[in-house]
Amino acid sequence: MNATELKNLQAPIKDQYREHPGSAIITLKAEGKIGEGISCKVETGKSIVEAGLHPATGGTGMLACSGDMLLEALVACAGVTLQAVATAIEVNLKSGTVRAEGDLDFRGTLGVSKEAPVGFKVIRLEFDIDTDAGEEQISALKKLTERYCVVYQTLARGVEVQTTYHT
C-alpha cells in the first residue's frame, strides 16, 4: 500500500468522524472464560489463548503469560502504527523489528513485599528499522508512531480502569 492508497482508504472514515464525532467512539471488547486450575481462556479473534501463571509465580510455562500478552499487544500496535505512519509520510521501510521488554518485581505480585510494586516498573520499546530515510524523517516517524499508537499511549499516559463484579 502506498501513501495515496492509504489516504484514499482513510479519507471517508475521517470525513465521517469529522461530521459525526460520536461515530468515532468505538468500544473494543475482550472476554475470557475461567479455566481449569489457575487459567483463563481468552478469544483473540483468531484463536483462543489460554493464559496462566508465569513460572516466577508458580506456573509451568505451558500457558501464556498475561504480562507477555501485554507486551505483545504493544509490539503489534507499535509495528502496525509504524508501518501506517511510514506509508503516510512516504518513508520507505525495507524491513524492521519491534521489541518490547518490561521489568517486574514478582515480590509485589506474590505479596512478599508491600514496598515492591505490582506491575511493570518500566517497559522498553525498541525499533530496529532498515530505511534510507534521513534523520528528520526518522524523527517524524518516531514522533508520529508514538502519538498514534493506541497501546503505547494507553500505557504511557495511564487510563482509568472501572471494575464491576456480578454474582
C-alpha–C-alpha distance, residues 160 and 164, integer Å = 13
Residue 95 burial (C-beta neighbours within 10 Å; 0-12, 13-18, 19+): exposed
pLDDT at 159 over 90: yes
The answer for residues whose C-beta is within 8 angstroms of residue 42's C-beta and 6 or more apart is 30, 31, 32, 48, 49, 50, 51, 69
pLDDT band at 30 (very low <50, low <70, confident <90, very high): confident
Interval 106-146: pLDDT, tens: 999 999 999 999 999 999 999 999 999 999 999 999 999 99
CATH topology of domain 65-157: GMP Synthetase; Chain A, domain 3 (3.30.300)
Question: Is-contact 124 96, C-beta < 8 A?
Answer: no
- The structural domains of the chain, with segments of one domain joined by +, span 65-157
The whole-angstrom separation of Cα 116 and Cα 47 is: 35
pLDDT tier, 31 (very low <50, low <70, confident <90, very high otherwise): confident
**HEC secondary structure over 29-66:** CCCEEECCCCEEEEECCCCEEEEECCHHHCCCCCCEEH
pLDDT tens digits, one per residue of 56-115: 999 999 999 999 999 999 999 999 999 999 999 999 999 999 999 999 999 999 999 999
19 pLDDT above the threshold of 80: yes
pTM of the model: 0.88
On whether the CB atoms of residues 50 and 57 are closer than 8 A, the answer is: no
